[in-house]
Structure 1
Amino acid sequence: MTRILILTDYRGTFYSTARTKHGLCTMDLDKITAYLTRAGLEPEVVRFADLDLSGGLHGVPVLYTSSEDRGLHYKSWIEDLVLALETAGARIIPGYRYLRAHHNKVMMEALRAQLFPSDARRLGTRTFGTYEELATTTLDGPWPKVVKSAYGAGSQFVARAADRQELLRTARTLSRTHDRTEAVRERGRRLLRRDHHAQSLHRQKFLVQALVPGVNGDFKVLRMGERYYTLYRRNRPGDFRASGSGDFDFSDMAGVDPFALLDYAEQISDILGTPLASLDIGYDGAEFHLFEFQCLHFGTVTAENSTGYHVRADGQWRYVEEKCDIEAVFCEAIVGHLRRSGPALPRPLHQAATSTRAATSRPSNY
């Protein structure tokens, strides 16, 4: 049997779900290990703290969780270990760069510039490591603009700036890193030393990009293997942000061609090349815009609360009514990815483990 590692955090959690188990939003590891075993794999659940990096990892598939802890201190440690695993030749799913981009909008934008250059040019994104770098930079393009901290979910630390003055004021707040002691010491050095090269007190990285006009909401699209789950999120009242609004609709397409949306989501996720992807997509009346993407440890409400999913069959999009078993769908996506990208697995995943299908597939009508 093919060994596969599943790495959990210090609380024993793995990824996340819309439900809670023992007060934690974690996937059910018992179900995951059962489904993977049925697929001919030999799953081994290990805490990050118990991971042995000394050898025997080359070619071993590794699934791992991430973290959104305040300050990302714990996530930084996870990044160290996952990079070490990748260096050792393990088959990290997804690759380290996508872990680095999780809960890190600056890294996500760096990947966008390489993977989706035309999309990046439309947004005109600039990233900064300090407030002072922005203050000495002339920005191109129209106003208003959007400024985002590298960290934060649900539109936390995301703001609109009508002009340069508002942008600088907002960025100064978002990028603040100092405590009172550091501020007093730095200001003292500036007063006492003529040759002192000032150190920034605003070193929280952030980005500035164009505000896409004419967008009243966005689409959350989850790709899990061959399955595409969608929902529409309306903007907050009087706001330009949809993330965190809680105003979801699984049937409203806001006048957008659902097949065009799925074609765009497929194109983006194919380029990402990961078995799992969460895409935030906007439509301005003429073209689609990829606002953000994540490839692990994202919210699963879009799948778990859905009535079904889309799949491409014989070149056409079809809709399958089904109550989502998130662990089964997760495992199906991982097994399919391993089959396409590596040595053949001993035997296929049993159908009962991957579907609680309530109806046969039929053409989508929404």
Structure 2
Amino acid sequence: MKHVILFVDYREQFYSSLRVSTGGMDIPKIVDKFNHNGFFCEVIEFSDFDVDRQWAGKFVLYQSSEDRGLYYKSYISDILLYIKEQGGILIPEYQYFHAHENKVYQSLLSSNVDNSIITVPNTIAFGAYEELLSKVSDISFPRVIKLSSGCQSKGVSLVKTKRQCLKKAKRMMSSFNLVDYLRFNYKRLLKKGYSLESLNRKKIVLQSFIPKLPGDYKVLIYNDKVFVLTRSSRPTDFRASGSGIFKFDTDVPDKVLDAANYLQTYYNCPYMSIDIAYEKSNDQCYLIEYQFLMFGTYTLEKSPHYFKKINGAWEIVNETSNLESVFVDSVSSFINVSEEIK
């Protein structure tokens, strides 16, 4: 029997669910479903991590954290890296954990995506305001400016000029600390040739702006099931994710479904959340953002249907879905296929 280890946090929660405010998935349901699928599922808290345990060959499910400052995420990272180094099999892989709350690394991971299937908008990243200041004259506008961390359109703005970009970026990137400010300026007075360290070090990305888009698609893909939420933009706001104008369409373009299917295969992950924009005039999809874990599950839990490719064609399956069941089935299939490949 294959052994799956599932890590929960200090609140004994795993991922998220709409059923309980700030609550996670139903752990007993996950365990029962894994048992039904022929797996032994063991639940462990991160604080009970055993450094002397045999981790090689174990399948490890885990979550991330979106705490302010990402302190708990850093703690989880330490444990995951050790498990990986000992031969544990992380699901998803560690690089996808690193991409969570990290749009800079997301942009790097998507740099080799096949643009004939889904276009990745040109993205430039900066780690300090001074870097942007020295390069801004070479950047074309308009651009969408985003903090590297954050979700639901938080920390996302449209900047139309270089001046507007610098003003917005300086505020967004601020890492001001009075102690650092005094220390840096004290060094400047005492040390000849000392160059001030930046007080604006929050990472940002500048992404090409795609004009005249009516909205986008929030796509959740679990193995062979694709759940899609159509999100429309407000007339005065280009951001679709925070508009609240949502619906579950059945006439989603095949191009969008194919793009989601391609990305899941490309990244080799059992589940993904993808924001895809679609421009009807040129039948082109654009990759806006994506996540591999800790994404919202509204699109799955509220959808009256999902899409599935059957005999080479996309079909609509009219049924509601249980989050825990779909999650476990996607992981089970992923593990079984991985074992067959070996």
Q: TM-score, normalised by structure 2?
A: 0.94
Within 5 Å, give how 1:96-135 maps onto structure 2.
Answer: 96-116=94-114, 123-135=121-133
Deviation at 1:16, TM superposition (A): 0.8
Q: Residue 113 of structure 1 aligns to a residue in which SS?
A: coil
Match for residue 91 of structure 2? 93
Q: How does 1:159-308 map to 2 (within 5 A)?
A: 159-251=157-249, 258-285=253-280, 286=282, 287-308=284-305
Of 152, 159, 173 in structure 2, the residue corresponding to residue 154 of structure 1 is: 152
Q: Specify whether residues 276 and 70 from structure 1 end up closer, same or farther in structure 2 by C-alpha distance, changes over 3 A only.
A: same
Evaluate the alpha carbon distance shift between residue 78 and residue 193 of structure 1 in structure 2; reply closer, same or farther with a 3 A threshold: same
Question: 1:351 maps to which residue?
Answer: none
Shift in CA distance, 303/149, structure 1 to aligned 2, threshold 3 Å: same
**Preserved CA contact (<8 Å) 1:212 1:284:** no
Contact 1:149-1:207 at 8 Å conserved across structures? yes
- Per the alignment, do residues 205 and 84 of structure 1 end up closer, same or farther by CA in structure 2, a change over 3 Å counting? same
Q: Does the 8 Å CA contact 2:144/2:208 hold for their aligned counterparts?
A: yes
* Amino acid across the alignment from 1:54: D
1:24/1:145 Cα in 2 relative to 1: closer, same or farther (>3 Å)?
closer
Question: For each residue in 1:157-216, what CA deviation from the matched residue of structure 2 results, as whole angstroms up to 9, or x when unmatched?
Answer: 111111111111111111111222222332343345441121111111111121111212
- Runs of 5+ unmatched residues, structure 2: none
Q: Match of 1:54, SS?
A: coil
How many corresponding residue pairs? Answer: 339
Q: 8 Å contact 1:6–1:63 — kept in the other structure?
A: yes
After the TM superposition, which of the residue ranges 270-279 and 243-252 deviates more from structure 2? 243-252
Q: Is the 8 A contact 2:3 2:59 kept in 1?
A: yes
Correspondences of 1:29-108 after superposition (within 5 Å): 29-108=27-106
Aligned partner of residue 311 in structure 1, secondary structure: strand
Q: Residue 313 of structure 2 corresponds to which residue in structure 1?
A: 316
Cα gap change, 1:116/1:259 in structure 2, threshold over 3 Å: closer, same or farther?
closer
In 2, the alpha carbon distance for the partners of 1:25 and 1:216 equals 33
Q: 2: distance between equivalents of 1:167 and 1:192?
A: 34
Provide the C-alpha distance between the structure 1 equivalents of 2:307 and 2:122, rounded to a whole number of angstroms. 32
**Secondary structure class of the residue paired with 2:32:** helix
Q: Matched residues in 1 for 2:208 and 2:184: separation?
A: 34
Give the SS at the match of 1:78: helix
The equivalent of 2:10 in structure 1 is 10
For residues 254 and 98 of structure 2, the distance between their equivalents in structure 1, rounded to whole angstroms, comes to 31
Q: CA deviation at 1:28?
A: 0.2
Change (3 A) 1:117 1:176: farther
Aligned partner of 1:36: which letter? F
Whole-angstrom distance in 2 between the partners of 1:329 and 1:39:
12
Paired with 1:259 and 1:37, the residues of 2 have a C-alpha distance of 35
Aligned partners of 1:113 and 1:120 also within 8 Å? no
The match for 2:134 is 136
Letter in 2 for 1:201: L
Percent identity between matched residues is: 35
Distance of 2:29 and 2:289 partners within structure 1? 30
Give the direction of change, closer, same or farther, for the CA distance of 1:5–1:280 in structure 2 (3 Å limit): same
CA 236–69 in structure 1, closer or farther in 2 if over 3 Å, else same:
farther
Paired position in structure 2 for 1:337: 334
- Cα deviations across residues 202-253 of structure 1 (Å, max 9, x unaligned)? 1111111211112121101110111000011112441111122222111275
CA distance in 1, matches of 2:234, 2:9: 33
- C-alpha distance in 2, partners of 1:259/1:251? 13
Moved more, 39-48 or 173-182: 173-182
Secondary structure of 1:298's partner? coil
TM-superposed CA distance for 1:84, in Å, is 1.4
Cα pair distance change 1:135/1:117, threshold 3 Å: farther
Residues 217 and 277, structure 2, Cα contact 8 Å, conserved in 1: yes
Query: Does 258-267 or 40-49 show the bigger shift?
Result: 258-267
- Contact kept, 8 Å, 2:248 with 2:303, in 1: the verdict is yes
Please give the alpha-carbon distance, in whole angstroms, between the structure 2 residues aligned to 1:113 and 1:81: 28
For the structure 1 residues 75 and 215, does the alpha-carbon distance in structure 2 shift closer, same or farther, using more than 3 Å as the test?
Answer: same
Contact 2:250–2:316, Cα closer than 8 Å, also in 1: no
Work out the CA distance in 2 between the residues paired with 1:66 and 1:198: 34
The question of whether the paired residues in 2 share the 8 Å contact of 1:119 and 1:290 is answered with: no
Compute the displacement of 1:120 (Å). Answer: 9.7
Does the CA contact (< 8 Å) of 2:216 and 2:276 recur in 1?
A: yes
- Amino acid in the other structure paired with 2:105: M
Structure-1 separation of matches of 2:67 and 2:339:
33
Query: What are structure 1's unaligned runs of at least 5 residues?
Result: 345-366
Aligned-partner SS, 2:105: helix
